[in-house]
Amino acid sequence: MIETNQSTQPKPSSLLGYSLADLETIYAEMGEKPYRVKQTMEWIYKQRISDIEEMSNLPANLRKHLSDTYYLNDLQHIETKGAADTTRKFLFRLHDGRYVETVFIPASVGLKGKQSTRKTICVSSQVGCAYGCKFCASGLAGFTRNLTAAEIIGQMLSVEKIAEQPINNIVFMGMGEPLANLTNLTKALEVITGHWGFNIGARSVTVSTSGLAPQIRKLAEFPAPIRLAISLHGATDEVRDLIMPINKKYPIKELFDALHYWRTHKKQKISLEYILIEGVNDDLDQAAILAKRAKGLNAKVNLIPYNTVEGLNWKRPSESHCIAFRDIVAAAGINTTLRLEKGGDINAACGQLRLKKETSEGIIKAPVKTTS
C-alpha cells in the first residue's frame, strides 16, 4: 500500500512545474511585481538553491507565502550504479514511494577520435509504461502514473547536483512513453529550453517515442526545434506487430505519415532507433527495408544491440551480424550508427533498477517472466 497525504490542507505543488509565463500569472494574481518572477527563476535555475528560504532578495512575506504553498525538488536520491566519469544510473524515490531511474552519460571520445563535450541525461517520463513492448523492462509491470513536469525537471537538477557537472544534452529515453504524458512533457520542455530556465538549446533535446502517431503531430507544434527519435525496432508491420503492441493501433504507414508531417515542421533529421534482437528482428531483409524507409524520410538510423533484461530471454546478435546489418543500411547512403560497446548493466535500458526495488518492497508483484 502506498501512503497518501491525509492532510486536509491543499497539497503544496512544486515551483519546478511552472514556466516563466505561469509564474508571471501567479505573481500578478498575488499583486507581486513582474521582476520578482525573474528573481525567483534565477534562484532556482542559476543559483540552484534547494530551499525557498534561500531566496534572500525576495521580501520576507513573499518568501513565507512561497514556502507555505510550494516546494522545490522532492526527489530523494536512493542509489547510484556506475563509477564517476562513466555512465551512471541513478534511482530516485518519489513522494508517493514510487521509483524512477535517470542515466547520466558524461563526455566521451566522439566520432573521429575528438573529445566530445556532451553531457547527456536520459530522463524518465512515467513510472512504468502502458505500452508493453515485449523486450522492455519499463513495461514489464505495467503503468503506474505520469511524472509531473516538476519530477522531470527534478531529475535534471538532482543529477547535476550529484554529478557536479552541467548537462547540455537531454534525451527522453528513460522509463515511460513521453508522448503519453504530453501536457507534462511540453511543460518540462518549456523549462528545459527557456532562457530563464535550464537554457538548453532545443537541438540538444530529443524526445523518443514508440510511435504514438497523433501525439507526434501535436508535439510537432512545439515552437522550438527539438529532435524526435522513433523506437522502430521492426521494418515491417509483421515484425513490429510481434514485439510492439502499439503497432496494431498505429501501423507503420500511419506512423510514417505522422513523421512526414513532423518533417514539414522541423528541419532536424529524425532518428530511427532499432534494437537488434537475435532471431526476432535482425534478419538482413529487415535491414534493406529499414534503409528504404529511412531514405524516404531522410532519417538517421541508430542500431543498438539488445541489452539483456532479467526475466526475459531475448539476446543480442553476434557482433559480426550486427555489423552486416549496419553495412546494408549504410550502403544505401543512410547516416547509420551502431553502438558496439559492451552493454553492461549500466547502459541497459531503463526500468530494471526500479523494477527490482518496487518488487523487493512489495509495491508491485514480481513481473511475469515471459518472452512471448
Q: Examine residue 32 and tell whether it contacts ligand SAH (CB under 6 A).
A: no
Q: Which of residues 121-140 bind ligand SAH (CB under 6 A)?
A: 135-136
CB 90 within 8 A of CB 140: no
CB 171 within 8 A of CB 120: yes
Q: Which lies closer to ligand SAH via its Cβ, residue 23 or residue 355?
A: 355
Burial track 319-340 (b if 16+ CB lie within 10 A, e otherwise): eeebeebbebbbeeebebebee
* 369, burial (CB in 10 Å: exposed 0-12, middle 13-18, buried 19+): exposed
Q: Examine residue 131 and tell whether it contacts ligand SF4 (CB under 6 A).
A: yes
CB 305 within 8 A of CB 298: no
Q: How far is the CB of 314 from ligand SAH (least distance, A)?
A: 7
Q: Examine residue 304 and tell whether it contacts ligand SAH (CB under 6 A).
A: yes
Provide the 3-class DSSP secondary structure of residue 103.
strand
Question: Roughly how many angstroms between the first and final C-alpha of the chain, as a whole number?
Answer: 30
Please tell me the distance from the alpha carbon of residue 287 to that of residue 164, in angstroms, as a whole number. 41
Q: Examine residue 177 and tell whether it contacts ligand SAH (CB under 6 A).
A: yes
Q: How far is the CB of 173 from ligand SAH (least distance, A)?
A: 4
Q: Examine residue 101 and tell whether it contacts ligand SF4 (CB under 6 A).
A: no
Please tell me the distance from the alpha carbon of residue 28 to that of residue 41, in angstroms, as a whole number. 15
Catalytic residue, from 133, 136, 322, 350: name it. Answer: 350
Q: Which of 347, 358, 230 is nearest to 290 (CA)?
A: 230
Answer for which of 129, 192, 232, 309 binds ligand SF4 (CB under 6 A) is: 129
Question: 126-128 and 88-93: which strand pairing?
Answer: unpaired
Q: How far is the CB of 26 from ligand SAH (least distance, A)?
A: 31
Burial track 138-165 (b if 16+ CB lie within 10 A, e otherwise): bbbbebbebbbbbbbbbbbbbbbeebee
Q: Examine residue 23 and tell whether it contacts ligand SAH (CB under 6 A).
A: no
Q: Examine residue 270 and tell whether it contacts ligand SAH (CB under 6 A).
A: no
129 catalytic residue (yes or no):
no
Please tell me the distance from the alpha carbon of residue 128 to that of residue 133, in angstroms, as a whole number. 12
Q: Which of residues 213-242 bind ligand SAH (CB under 6 A)?
A: 231, 233
Answer for which of 210, 215, 271, 286 binds ligand SAH (CB under 6 A) is: 210
Across 21-116, the runs of DSSP E, i.e. the strands, are 70-71, 76-81, 88-93, 99-105
Q: How far is the CB of 26 from ligand SF4 (least distance, A)?
A: 33
Q: Which of these segments, 66-74, 112-120, 131-139, 285-293, binds ligand SF4 (CB under 6 A)?
A: 131-139
Q: How far is the CB of 238 from ligand SAH (least distance, A)?
A: 18
Which option in ligand SAH, ligand SF4, none does residue 304 bind, with CB closer than 5 to 8 A by kind? ligand SAH
CB 146 within 8 A of CB 181: yes
The one-letter amino acid at 249: K
Please tell me the distance from the alpha carbon of residue 173 to that of residue 170, in angstroms, as a whole number. 9
Which option in ligand SF4, ligand SAH, none does residue 306 bind, with CB closer than 5 to 8 A by kind? ligand SAH
Answer for which of 58, 121, 127, 136 binds ligand SF4 (CB under 6 A) is: 136
341 catalytic residue (yes or no):
no
C-alpha cell recorded at residue 246 = 502499439
Q: Examine residue 102 and tell whether it contacts ligand SAH (CB under 6 A).
A: no
Q: Examine residue 40 and tell whether it contacts ligand SAH (CB under 6 A).
A: no
How many residues interact with ligand SAH (rule CB under 6 A)?
Answer: 18
Q: Which of these segments, 42-50, 124-132, 307-315, 325-333, binds ligand SF4 (CB under 6 A)?
A: 124-132
Q: Which lies closer to ligand SAH via its Cβ, residue 37 or residue 235?
A: 235
The single residue listed with the C-alpha cell 502506498 is 2
Answer for which of 306, 326, 334, 355 binds ligand SAH (CB under 6 A) is: 306
The one-letter amino acid at 13: S
Catalytic residue, from 32, 101, 177, 190: name it. Answer: 101
**Could you list the residues that contact ligand SF4 (CB under 6 A)?**
129, 131-133, 136, 138-139, 176-177, 210, 231
Please identify every residue annotated as catalytic. 101, 350
Which parts of this chain interact with ligand SAH (CB under 6 A)?
135-136, 173, 177-178, 208-210, 231, 233, 273, 275, 304, 306-307, 309, 348-349
